[in-house]
Structure 1
């Protein structure tokens, strides 16, 4: 059965289909990279996509309430205090969005850190259009007088420092990094690939290393030009990724997992950044003052599979999902093959995988639910202050509603997790609010 190809084909979809026709099925990681980061047509690279805020596909925690960023700033400051208040400080954010979170954090930090202290800001952002938004938000004349702001394409581009205390945070960053989807079989780990749907292909004659691939019947969508297929045999990549965590050996045959080597590598680089990238930390003359960090994302302390797919939901509530990979468009969940490049692709974060990447470099705390982190960091006190300062009753209500959304136990409050990273704190050391919160879970 051949469908009518006159239906709208996105520019990225055409690139993907042409690539599959030339070289065969592609891994999910390649699909995500093309959809999100194609230099001209990728979701984050195309300036025609508003992306964040009520006009775009995201309404993130920092955009909902300033309290979120302020409490992140308070936690970073508390670790800076514990480190002895180093004079030189640098802030590092991955995927800063519109710059709202960094703006809120800087507002808090500038009130506490002495005016004569050196503060550098490093933003990891690949999109030129997003950089423009961040510059407009952060680079006012008053800000430029106190903070030096630098942009980088990756964490590895940030230079090591033995003189600055590093404050790091990443909010909804790791969820957008490319994943590989693997399925465990009796012969090993096979990779789930993306192929052209023969229902839309009159010839269906692509010849590749996965000749006549096994179609995953539960995930084939006849309404899409793309489909999922299972490679006929394990590859070097699928075998290596399947062995990249000791936990994966316990996965039962027939199960699928999402693995992000990019997330592992990035987390590792963050750990090295906090440590100061100094090989000999025993040498007092070259020892870095260290650093701290927060990773905030939706996910949990385990690996995720892909056993359930939802094409569209009116109410965005991630609690209903057992499958990790999903697409957002206008705040609604849609099929991941719907208009590639025009929707955002995300996957739940395996926080244990991140822990495994950095635990020999820094001390890891959590993760704990977002509601627990915010409440323990003083959400109610800050909320009361903002409500008292608001004059209009409508404004007071809006402030309360925004805060409630952040800590809702049927939504963002539990779906989002917070992981802390510190140097200079030995395993088992008490770092608020993680230690007490973990005993209350």
Structure 2
């Protein structure tokens, strides 16, 4: 929330795919263009949730500007952002683009502030947005679902010690005697019972299981489905959700980052990046009420099938030095690394069109290659 506390980049707490390589945003832009070209080609409005410094949107807009007909169709850019500091960074990045092309920039504190508009084609992006939303931690007991809450520790602050240890994921800072601790609620609450029943998948879990559930994520995903919902055969929008997680519920993924290291979630409250894995199956359940979901695919599969290697070769041909060529390669390899970001991150698409009406090329790259006689990437 404050400009003096950098979040992204080398001086911040973590780095995102758009910050690693421009190719990521360019590939996302190509997918959005392909969806629009397969639609009624209506005027375009772009919407991004949690735009960071505006890097992803900038890369996407640069791609859209390469197609004259697409560029002329863009009318508005909507950004959902609650941080004043981030809004200033986004304005600095995107205002030159907007002024040059006479596009209108709008900021919103909530996705609920954005009206439905069936006369425009709405392109939606949510990159590392859902993982930052608040969640409830529930535990299944013989009495039903009960909330895991947080209470203060009895340990005096003066006795707290910080120790460092190594883990497979890098340096981890542990608090030997944290100021807070987890406790189980004495009985089921209205919230725990309601959330425990919010998906049929949760009913099959064994006693003792824990799940991280975000009602905020479900509500927002439901709203995104409404924004692209079509009342006719004409598609009125599409979107991509990119985040780490999978098509399942998680029970112990809650963690914190500080200076690119995993730290205890109770370490320096208010000064660390808090995150939780995204249950994509939960998002799909919310979206499917109004939209068709595609995927999710691993980030590596999405980028590879969308032709990232061809774009890399083009960038290398235009590079001014060998160092720049190596920099391009390193960035892209990091994005598709199968032991890192390539599989940790998932990409899910959604559109207002129905699955039965979509041709294979319209569903690309969210297709089952085993049951489709289609090359690894489109010709």
Q: Which residue number corresponds to residue 95 of structure 2? A: 139
**Residue 285 of structure 2 aligns to a residue in which SS?**
helix
Q: Which residue number corresponds to residue 261 of structure 1? A: 215
Contact 2:235 2:351 in 1 (8 A): no
Q: Map residues 264-413 of structure 1 onto 2, 5 A cutoff.
A: 264-275=218-229, 281=231, 289-306=235-252, 324-413=253-342
Relative to structure 1, is the Cα distance of residues 428 and 259 closer, same or farther in structure 2, using a 3 angstrom cutoff?
farther
Look at both structures and tell me which one has the larger radius of gyration over its CA atoms. 1
1:273-332 CA-to-partner distances (Å, cap 9, x unmatched) read 1116xxxx25xxxx87510000000000000012xxxxxxxxxxxxxxxxx100000110
Deviation at 1:117, TM superposition (A): 2.6
Q: Which residue number corresponds to residue 243 of structure 1? A: 197
Q: Which residue number corresponds to residue 190 of structure 1? A: 146
Contact 2:242 2:348 in 1 (8 A): yes
Contact 1:122 1:152 in 2 (8 A): yes
Contact 1:369 1:414 in 2 (8 A): yes
1:129-164 CA-to-partner distances (Å, cap 9, x unmatched) read 000000000001764533211000111111221211
Q: Which residue number corresponds to residue 433 of structure 1? A: 365
**Residue 367 of structure 2 aligns to a residue in which SS?**
helix
Aligned with residue 186 of structure 2, among 199, 222, 232: 232
TM-score between both structures, scaled by the size of structure 2: 0.89
Structure 2 CA distance for aligned equivalents of residues 110 and 250 of structure 1: 49
**Residue 70 of structure 1 aligns to a residue in which SS?**
helix
Relative to structure 1, is the Cα distance of residues 237 and 144 closer, same or farther in structure 2, using a 3 angstrom cutoff?
farther
Q: Map residues 158-197 of structure 1 onto 2, 5 A cutoff.
A: 158-197=114-153
Structure 1 CA distance for aligned equivalents of residues 101 and 108 of structure 2: 21
Q: Which residue number corresponds to residue 347 of structure 2? A: 418
Once superposed, what is the RMSD of the aligned Cα atoms?
2.1
Deviation at 1:116, TM superposition (A): 3.8
Contact 1:121 1:149 in 2 (8 A): yes
**Residue 329 of structure 2 aligns to a residue in which SS?**
helix
Question: Structure 2: where are the runs of 5+ without partners?
Answer: 159-173
Deviation at 1:98, TM superposition (A): 0.4
1:343-386 CA-to-partner distances (Å, cap 9, x unmatched) read 00000000000000011211111101000000000100000000
1:245-265 CA-to-partner distances (Å, cap 9, x unmatched) read 000000100111000000000
Relative to structure 1, is the Cα distance of residues 141 and 235 closer, same or farther in structure 2, using a 3 angstrom cutoff?
closer
Contact 1:199 1:222 in 2 (8 A): no
Deviation at 1:53, TM superposition (A): 1.0
Aligned length: 354
Contact 1:164 1:288 in 2 (8 A): no
Structure 2 CA distance for aligned equivalents of residues 385 and 143 of structure 1: 29
Contact 1:163 1:288 in 2 (8 A): no
Structure 2 CA distance for aligned equivalents of residues 366 and 333 of structure 1: 29
Q: Which residue number corresponds to residue 54 of structure 1? A: 10
